[in-house]
Every structure is written in C-alpha cells, then in structure tokens.
C-alpha cells in the first residue's frame, strides 16, 4: 500500500514528507552523489514512514528501491545504528570529513536523543572548521514538535543549536513542507562549500493531509528560507489590510493557518521562517515589505519562552528590521520542554494559537 500511494503521489501530487525525502535522496544518487543514511530505526523510520529498505516477511530478503534506480547511479547505504548517539554521530561526522562528496545523514530516534552526543556537536560539528579548518557536510535529522508526547520526546532543543551559531558555521532549518525539505537536502548535497546542516524534522506532519506538496513544487524552484503567507481559502490576503504578521517556524504554522481559516480572519498574515540560521536577512525583509510598516510583528512558537528559536530571534531580528518592535507568543518559561499530560498540552497549545490572533 505504501508503494501504491507513492505511485499515485508521483502522478497526481499530494506528495507527503516521507516520499519527498525519498525523492531527494534518489535524485541525489542519480546526480552521482553517494548517500549514506544512519540512525536509530532509520531504514524503516521511527514513525514507520520512510521504508527505505523493504523486507520480505516470508524469506527475510531485503530490497532497497532507491539503490536500484539505474546501473550508473551512485551508491546508497542505509543502516540502523546501535543506541549510542555519541558513537554513531561521531562516526558519521568522521565519514563526512573523509568522504566530502557524499551526502551523509545521521538521524536521531527523537530529537532530544541527540543530547547523548552533545560532545560531538560542541567539539566537532559546530566548531571544527573554526578550530582546525576541518569541514564537514554532515546532516543531523532531529524529530521535533510539541505534540503531547511528554517531556522526553518533544524537543530537539532548537535553542542549543542556535546558541552555537556564528560565522556561518552551520545551517539550522525547520521546514514545514515536503518540497522545501526536498530542496534543502538537494542544496546540501550539491553545494560546493561543506557546512553541517541540522534539520528539525516533523512527526505529526508526516501524515497531516495539509502538509503535502504538488509535483510542480519538486520539479521547479529552489529551497526557500522564508515562505510567504499562503492565503485563506485559496485567496491571497490584501496586504494593505494586514494588521499583524505572525512569524513562526515548523509545525505550529498549520495550527495557526487552521485557526485563521476556521475563524475567517483576513487581517493577520502567517509567514514561515524555514531557515533559522544563517538568518534570511534579505528574504525576510522583502516578504515583510509587502505589509504596512504599522503591522505588528509577533514571533509565535509552541516551545516554552526560554526554549525554541525565540531568544535567538529576539537578539538578531531587530538588526535587519530597524524600528520594528517584535513580541512573543509562546508557552511560559519552563524547566521541562513539554507537559507530561496530554490534556495540559492541548490546553496550552490552544492558548498559544488563540493568543497569537487576539
């Protein structure tokens, strides 16, 4: 059924996140670039979404579809690594240094599991080039999202990675569409200068009907650091009438868009910041220039106030948006990344979304 759905997506659109990722990896192989994917349950995918390797339940034989695209494509490796983030991430970092022409990806089972490899991030991934001139194009895939799963499976700790960002040492992204994720991975594979890429990948968006992309979104365009407002019910907002612009990143955009649509709100724009670092310091001002200077700017995040991207944005956004005030809507500051109760989570999430429009 998974393969049948993907065949249908390839023809009629509605491409979901997992298939968009497979398209990125497969097309990269066709371009002659080797791809190595490793992590905890990465062949199947933690959320049973990827199915990069298929296993015959009768014979136990394995088949890897994107490893058989043609006779001349580059090699693809997919490994389920041991549950030692420190060892596995360190190995993939080393592999990316030794084979700079390959696209090397390491995936955490949940984003916060990468904390077990914090030494690798601190000593090598974030600062290896600054200290030793040692470049790496390793990609970290960190599932992230405050979705009621409790404190230990919610946050990939965006704030920690952003705190280490300076001198264009790495790229931090939190994409909200499969097509933009596709173009991000392709850009990483094809770029001439090797820099680490940290991607906060989705969980619930993997199966959210609204989080799909058309075929045309894959066959044209490039990665977009900022996604402008998508309109309401197929109609673009009148920019002159916009009183507030909500800036956000990742999954919460869909909650904001759904609330706006359900309540017929047409004077609030939702702008998605897909690349958190390097800051989109030319793209974002261009998008915001479409709206009146009097429009209020609000950063909305589902993470607590002391986590997520807020501290980084509060420090850096004013530098290229002079004279514009920026306020925050989020959960209150917390010692824990998320509530331990599903009911509390839902109440908090609804409060954040409602406050963004009040």
The full 3-state SS of 165-231, as one line of letters, equals CCCCCCEEECCCCHHHHHHHHHHHHHCCCCCCEEEEECCHHHHCCCCCECHHHHHCCCCCCEECCCC
Domain range 2-207, its CATH number among 1.10.150.120, 3.40.50.12470, 3.40.50.1470, 3.30.300.210: 3.40.50.12470
- Judged against a pLDDT cut of 90, whether residue 82 lies above it is answered with no
pLDDT digits 0-9 by tens, 138-195: 999 999 998 888 898 899 999 999 999 999 999 999 999 999 999 999 999 999 999 9
Task: Classify the C-alpha dihedral 142-73-26-29 as positive or negative.
Answer: positive
- Judged against a pLDDT cut of 90, whether residue 72 lies above it is answered with no
Which region among 49-63, 93-107, 274-288 has the lowest average model confidence (pLDDT)? Answer: 49-63
- Judged against a pLDDT cut of 90, whether residue 71 lies above it is answered with no
Angle (CA) 42 177 317, round 5°: 110
Q: Which CATH architecture has domain 226-357?
A: 3-Layer(aba) Sandwich (3.40)
Q: Across-strand partners of 300?
A: 329
Split at pLDDT 50, 70, 90, the class of 63 is: very high
Query: Residues in the chain, how many?
Result: 358
* Residue 70: predicted pLDDT: 86
CA–CA distance, 293 with 239 (Å, rounded to integer): 11
- Judged against a pLDDT cut of 90, whether residue 3 lies above it is answered with no
* Residue 322: predicted pLDDT: 87
- CB neighbour list of residue 336: distance below 8 Å, 6 or more residues apart: 151
* Residue 28: predicted pLDDT: 97
Quick one: average pLDDT of 88-117?
94
Split at pLDDT 50, 70, 90, the class of 87 is: very high
pLDDT digits 0-9 by tens, 198-214: 999 999 999 999 999 99
- Judged against a pLDDT cut of 90, whether residue 2 lies above it is answered with no
Domain chopping of the chain, boundaries? 2-207, 226-357
Q: What is the 3-state secondary structure (H, E, C) of the chain?
A: CHHHHHHHHHHHCCECHHHHHHHHHHHHHHCCCCEEEEECCCCCCCCCCCCCCEECCCCCCEECHHHHCCCCCCCEEEEECCCCHHHHHHHHHHHHHHCCCCEEEEECCCHHHHHHHHHHHHHHHCCHHHHHCCCCCCEEEEECCCCCCCCCCCCCCHHHHHHCCCCCCCEEECCCCHHHHHHHHHHHHHCCCCCCEEEEECCHHHHCCCCCECHHHHHCCCCCCEECCCCECCECCCHHHCCEEEEECCCHHHHHHHHHHHCCCCCEEEEEECEEECCCCCHHHHHHCCCCCCCEEEEEEEEECCCCCHHHHHHHHHHHCCCCCEEEEEECCCCCCCCCCHHHHHHHHHHHHHHHHC
Mean pLDDT across the chain: 94
Provide, rounded to the nearest whole percent, the portion of the chain with pLDDT above 90: 86
Task: Classify the C-alpha dihedral 126-122-134-42 as positive or negative.
Answer: negative
Quick one: average pLDDT of 312-318?
95
Q: Across-strand partners of 328?
A: 299
* Residue 83: predicted pLDDT: 83
Provide, rounded to the nearest whole percent, the portion of the chain with pLDDT above 70: 100
- Judged against a pLDDT cut of 90, whether residue 80 lies above it is answered with yes
- pTM equals 0.95
pLDDT digits 0-9 by tens, 29-45: 999 999 999 998 899 99
Q: Do domains 2-207 and 226-357 have the same CATH topology?
A: yes
């Amino acid at each position: 059924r998974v393969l049948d759905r993907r065949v249908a997506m390839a023809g009629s659109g509605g491409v979901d996140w997992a298939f968009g990722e497979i398209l990125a990896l497969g097309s990269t192989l066709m371009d002659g670039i080797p791809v190595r994917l490793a992590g905890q349950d990465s062949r199947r995918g933690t959320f049973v979404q990827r199915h990069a390797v298929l296993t015959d339940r009768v014979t136990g034989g394995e088949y890897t579809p994107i490893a058989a695209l043609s006779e001349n494509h580059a090699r693809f490796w997919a490994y389920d690594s041991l549950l030692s983030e420190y060892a596995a991430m360190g190995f993939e970092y080393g592999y990316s240094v030794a084979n700079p022409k390959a696209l090397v990806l390491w995936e955490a089972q949940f984003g916060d599991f990468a904390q077990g490899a914090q030494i690798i991030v601190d000593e090598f991934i974030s600062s290896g080039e600054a200290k030793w001139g040692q470049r790496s194009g390793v990609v970290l895939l960190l599932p992230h999202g405050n979705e009621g799963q409790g404190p230990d499976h919610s946050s990939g700790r965006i704030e920690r990675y952003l705190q280490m960002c300076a001198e264009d040492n790495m790229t931090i992204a939190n994409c909200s569409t499969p097509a933009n994720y596709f173009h991000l991975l392709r850009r990483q594979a094809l770029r001439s200068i090797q820099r680490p890429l940290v991607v906060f990948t989705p969980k619930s968006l993997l199966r959210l009907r609204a989080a799909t992309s058309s075929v045309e979104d894959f066959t044209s365009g490039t990665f977009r650091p900022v996604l402008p407002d998508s309109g309401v019910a197929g109609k673009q907002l009148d920019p002159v009438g916009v009183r507030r612009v909500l800036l956000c990143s990742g999954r919460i955009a869909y909650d904001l868009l759904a609330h706006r649509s359900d309540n017929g709100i047409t004077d609030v724009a939702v702008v998605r910041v897909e690349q958190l670092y390097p800051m989109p310091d030319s793209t974002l001002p261009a998008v915001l220039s479409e709206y009146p200077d009097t429009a209020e700017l609000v950063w909305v995040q589902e993470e607590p106030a002391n986590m997520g991207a807020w501290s980084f944005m509060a420090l850096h956004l004013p530098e290229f948006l002079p004279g514009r005030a920026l306020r925050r809507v989020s959960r209150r500051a917390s010692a824990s990344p998320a509530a331990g109760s599903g009911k509390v989570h839902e109440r908090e999430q609804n409060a954040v979304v409602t406050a963004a429009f009040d």
